[in-house]
Chain A
């Protein structure tokens, strides 16, 4: 609890200092927010520290996660504790250098590194790895062969590229040129000189609905070099696309959508580790698909649903079950896309029984072993 109850000396300096403090702790506070905070503080006054807290929170936060972080910062800053020697300014901020150590990496969404490792990443810096050649090398590198240090760099690049991809997809929708309704406004405008007779018709483009995406990620043992990265990929995918449903499967199926829903990746991964999914266990693709068909089939709409499976196709169950269940799915969706990380290997042939059984129901069969191949998915979305 906040122990400081009434504090007359909340000055502009302390507010600015607090904003800096919060920024160092990972809250995204720009100059604009700092100005907002100052305005808010002067509107509220300093009579009640709780009001000030609520007010600053509404200015400086922009999501529930921010709010939690804010509470921490506020507590640490204003409630410096009874042992703190009091200076002329009672609300003397804590040493900001200390917070530098626990500083969160603002771009760290894709990264699960603990704060201790951050200092090293700051030295090498995100800027250092965005050089074109490094980027190219990383984009082509197979996930299973990546070093740990490269992984972090790759995640940063990936996050940015995935975002761009989502943005491009949105734009592509807009400039599509399907002719639909007559656009009366433009038609009239064009034809005023002809007395308003609609001679030159103008059309309004109909924007196609964005596709719904249902993704199933194989998290069984054979996929383990890839599944962690693919998980992060799916997380970003769900964050930036509407209508994404995410499932994990090994021997049975788990719906992950609510876990991924509007959280930080770090928390989501933590929650994931709690669920009793068969991490690194055997694979029953057919069985998992049957479960999907039983419970979640109504999520599929044949007109606009893309069904995305990320698996290496090492089926330990009955291949004919896989074939039957996949064909049921196939009838209900627009396109079945299967991404197989093994396709990245030079002489890989989809010869496993499971993969062979599945192949004839698949519309797009592509690789998912490196960043480039994941980004190539854009074409099919």
Chain B
């Protein structure tokens, strides 16, 4: 239990967060670590914005692993509504229960109380997140920019009071306030009210050194030379002004692919064969090919 206490939120510092997250495979820089530290101290949600594939979602997973707590994930999408985000009644079961109780001589009020009891409640992620019994879970609200404005407004209530009202049952208040991580790809501007309630962190493309560190951490067996070449290659690709520049996830994919293909260093064939890991559209394919292999190969030669 002592190890738990060590990793519990109470005695975290920024430094211990950095080393802790690294030990669960997440390389974090100090500015993000400070923000996460504040999440654990101020118990405010954090909104993480940035391009796709830079580890926004991973952050929540790593945090849950570090705090040794549950990760509850809500993936947002257009048309996401309260029924699939918060709770829903189990209608079929309710109908059956009504049928079964038909012949009993309970009053209507009793019947109603029964079929609107917890037994018939289907808990969705947001309700689950405030129902934790022993410790605060991590609630990941992924890609909030995809959800409708109406849903955003609903979230406001939850994120400020951590309580949910179910008309048939009353108000459920969180025993353990969850650590909330919201991510957004900035496909649309979020409402001011929501942003105001959150700590904010913008994640940018990592530096060469940081990305090397990430590759080493995530793909422990990879050869140093290959890793350095791949990272340098991806960095060059990012300067090409692509429609969708590759993120860290793509770097890892590419490096992994190279390893699976048995490459020991980067060459023209390797770039061509793994192009699908880096570019996700015909236009970007063409741009990378037009840039010429030599630009990449030149940048990849390891400094001697």
Contacts and interface: CB of A to CB of B under 8 A. Distances in A.
Contact of B200 (A48, A63, A261): A63
Interface string B21-44: 000000000110111011001101
A380 interface: no
Interface string A272-289: 000000000000000000
Interface stretch (B88-96, B136-144, B228-236): B88-96
A64 B189 CA distance: 12
A4 interface: no
Contacts of A239: 188-189
Contacts of A193: 108
A266 to B, nearest CB: 16
Nearest to B43: A39
Nearest to A189: B168
Interface stretch (A13-21, A49-57, A150-158): A49-57
Interface in A48-84: 48, 50-51, 54-55, 57-59, 61-64, 66-67
A58 B200 contact: yes
A242 B102 contact: no
Contact of A207 (B79, B102, B200): B79
Contacts of B133: none
Given A54-B30, A192-B108, A36 B149 contact: no
A54 B47 CA distance: 14
Given A54-B30, A55-B35, A242-B188, A62 B42 contact: no
Nearest to A196: B98
A214 B126 CA distance: 36
Nearest to A191: B98
Contact of A63 (B46, B78, B102, B195): B195
A231 interface: no
A43 B12 CA distance: 11
Given A54-B30, A188-B95, A262 B199 contact: no
Contacts of B33: 54
A51 B34 CA distance: 6
Contacts of B37: 43-44, 55
A172 interface: no
A62 B196 contact: yes
Contact of B195 (A62, A170, A174, A240): A62
Contacts of A50: 30
Contacts of A240: 188-189
Contacts of A185: 83, 88-89, 91
A248 B226 CA distance: 44
Interface string B192-217: 10011011111000000000000000
Contacts of A54: 30-31, 33-35
B186 interface: yes
B150 interface: yes
B111 interface: yes
B98 A57 contact: no
A62 B202 contact: no
Contacts of B98: 188, 192, 195-196
A91 interface: no
Contacts of B300: none
B38 A40 contact: yes
B273 interface: no
A161 interface: no
A33 B199 CA distance: 10
Contacts of B89: 184-185, 188
Contacts of B35: 54-55, 57-58
Nearest to B109: A192
A188 B186 contact: no
Contacts of A86: none
Given A40-B42, A170-B149, A62 B47 contact: yes
B99 interface: yes
B284 interface: no
Nearest to B88: A185
B41 A43 contact: yes
Contacts of B105: none
Nearest to A167: B149
B150 A66 contact: no
B250 interface: no
A242 to B, nearest CB: 5
B108 A62 contact: no
Interface centre among A40, A62, A67, by most B CB within 10 Å?
Answer: A62
Nearest to A43: B41
Contacts of A67: 200, 202
Contacts of B192: 62
Contacts of A184: 89, 91
A36 B44 contact: yes
A6 to B, nearest CB: 15
Contacts of B112: 192
Interface centre among B14, B34, B78, B88, by most A CB within 10 Å?
Answer: B34
Contacts of B30: 50-51, 54
Contacts of A174: 150
A55 B91 contact: no
Smallest CB-CB A-B distances: 9 pairs: A196-B98, A54-B34, A62-B195, A58-B35, A43-B41, A184-B91, A54-B31, A58-B199, A64-B202
Given A54-B30, A209-B78, 14 more contacts: A40-B42, A43-B41, A44-B14, A54-B34, A55-B34, A58-B199, A59-B38, A59-B199, A59-B200, A184-B89, A185-B83, A185-B89, A239-B188, A239-B189
25 contacts: A32-B196, A33-B196, A36-B44, A43-B38, A43-B41, A43-B42, A44-B14, A50-B30, A54-B30, A54-B33, A55-B34, A58-B46, A58-B199, A59-B38, A62-B198, A64-B49, A184-B89, A185-B83, A188-B115, A192-B108, A193-B108, A209-B78, A240-B189, A242-B78, A262-B186
